[in-house]
């Protein structure tokens, strides 16, 4: 561990990606993620990597598809409207089972919306977004440190399961500066290992008979019986991810809690301030913060439902999206209430406190 650096989330995740072995990055500028693409344009050439400012988010994600097909650690990033454009490519990445990292620095929507922090892309990220039957691990950071750490985790998960992975951040985490402690950059030897890890399926130089290979990077299976097998295989992979990769944080959650907040990302951060103050005032309240929003910590929420829990509050920067997953976990056993802010407006800890007191 080196010395801490004060950095914006957008820059921290870029630096962490380079340290994690990402040498290929393709993207298109959009607020509030532009510091990320700017950082990559400065630092990628210095790291001996490739930076291309693509003509569109669609082109960028397809460049990702090409580089991922060559077995390289590759990343793209955008903000909400641009992520919609990337959805085609994400579906293809999932279908062709290509590891890649997509960072979404969310802003207000729908449409052009605004450029302030929001969490309105939860459904898009966790329930599909692109066409077809696929799932994609989605990591939701709530600090700049965690944002940076997730670059490494996202590449690891992507390589482990041959899947695209999304980091679902927002304008606040992208623009905010906090101290960051970076992992050391991968060594040459580690990079060589990374390079070879996908040689059994990826595009790489061939050799003469009899050892020559013919690898196809492809999501097309025109024969329904073959596609059926492929999608069932994908399904089994998704089951494995759900069984092994659920991550969440419990905050001030004790056996005598009477209220439970469920929130992710920036909303969870704000809720923590409210919980700290409510605890001081004697209100017994804790929180579960999903770190992976897919796979979702249903079990953790179910387990938190002691007989003492009177109500659950879900806080999100949207009209109520993750609340549907909380309700699935709770199965009607406890009332679930909602506090949301939209349009890029943040709620204050006081608003969370007021809501809890009114419940």
List residues near another protein by CB under 8 A.
4, 6, 24, 26, 31-32, 50, 52, 54-56, 58-60, 62-72, 74, 88-89, 92, 96, 114-116, 171-172, 175-179, 203-208, 212-220, 269-273, 276, 346, 348-350
**Shortest approach of another protein to residue 258 CB, angstroms?**
20
Nearer of residues 220 and 225 to another protein, judged by Cβ? 220
Nearer to another protein, 124 or 266 (CB): 266
112: burial class by Cβ within 10 Å (0-12, 13-18, 19+)?
exposed
CA distances from 313 to 51, 304, 341 (A): 43, 13, 14
- Please state, in angstroms and as integers, the Cα–Cα distance from residue 261 to each residue in 79, 249, 279, 312, 334, following that order: 27, 12, 13, 6, 12
Q: Select 222 or 243, whichever has its Cβ closest to another protein.
A: 222
- 3-class SS of residue 332: coil
- Residues making up the chain, counted from first to last: 359
Which residue's structure tokens are 């009607």? 332
CB-nearer residue toward another protein: 162 or 269 = 269
The SS3 assignment for 6 reads strand
From the CB of 70, what's the least distance to another protein, in Å? 4
32 and 115 Cβ atoms separated by less than 8 Å: yes
Kindly tell me the burial class for residue 243, based on how many C-beta atoms sit within 10 Å of its own C-beta (0-12, 13-18, 19 or more). Answer: exposed
Distance CA 173, CA 94 (A): 27
Helix, strand or coil, per DSSP, at residue 20: coil
Check if the beta carbon of residue 168 is closer than 8 Å to that of residue 139.
yes
In terms of Cα–Cα distance, which of 148, 5, 162, 154 is closest to 71? Answer: 162
- Taking residue 32's Cβ as centre, other Cβ atoms within 10 Å add up to 26
Q: Are 345 and 116 in contact (CB under 8 A)?
A: yes
Of 91 and 318, CB closest to another protein: 91
Which among 115, 196, 123, 125 has a CA at the least distance from the CA of 154?
Answer: 125
């Amino acid at each position: 561990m080196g010395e801490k650096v004060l950095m914006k989330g957008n820059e921290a995740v870029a630096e962490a990606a380079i340290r994690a072995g990402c040498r290929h990055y393709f993207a298109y500028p959009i607020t509030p993620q532009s510091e990320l693409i700017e950082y990559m344009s400065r630092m990628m050439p210095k790291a001996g990597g490739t930076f291309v400012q693509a003509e569109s988010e669609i082109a960028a994600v397809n460049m990702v598809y090409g580089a991922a097909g060559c077995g390289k650690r590759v990343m793209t990033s955008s903000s909400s409207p641009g992520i919609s454009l990337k959805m085609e490519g994400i579906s293809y990445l999932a279908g062709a089972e290509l590891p890649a990292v997509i960072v979404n620095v969310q802003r207000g929507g729908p449409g052009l919306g605004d450029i302030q922090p929001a969490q309105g892309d939860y459904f898009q990220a966790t329930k599909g977004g692109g066409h077809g039957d696929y799932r994609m691990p989605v990591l939701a950071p709530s600090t700049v440190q965690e944002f940076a750490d997730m670059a490494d985790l996202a590449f690891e998960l992507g390589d482990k399961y041959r899947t695209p992975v999304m980091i679902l951040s927002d304008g606040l985490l992208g623009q905010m500066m906090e101290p960051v402690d970076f992992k050391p950059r991968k060594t040459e030897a580690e990079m060589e290992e990374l390079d070879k890890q996908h040689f059994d399926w990826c595009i790489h130089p061939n050799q003469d008979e009899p050892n020559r290979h013919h690898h196809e990077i492809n999501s097309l299976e025109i024969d329904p019986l073959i596609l059926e097998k492929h999608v069932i295989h994908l399904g089994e992979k998704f089951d494995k991810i759900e069984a092994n990769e659920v991550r969440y944080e419990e905050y001030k959650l004790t056996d005598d809690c009477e209220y439970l907040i469920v929130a992710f990302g920036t909303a969870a951060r704000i809720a923590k301030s409210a919980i700290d103050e409510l605890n001081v005032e004697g209100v017994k309240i804790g929180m579960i913060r999903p770190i992976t929003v897919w796979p979702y910590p249903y079990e953790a929420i179910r387990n938190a439902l002691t007989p003492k829990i009177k109500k659950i509050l879900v806080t999100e920067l949207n009209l109520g999206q993750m609340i549907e997953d909380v309700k699935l976990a709770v199965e009607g056993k406890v009332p679930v209430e909602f506090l949301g802010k939209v349009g890029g407006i943040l709620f204050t800890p006081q608003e969370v406190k007021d809501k809890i007191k009114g419940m």
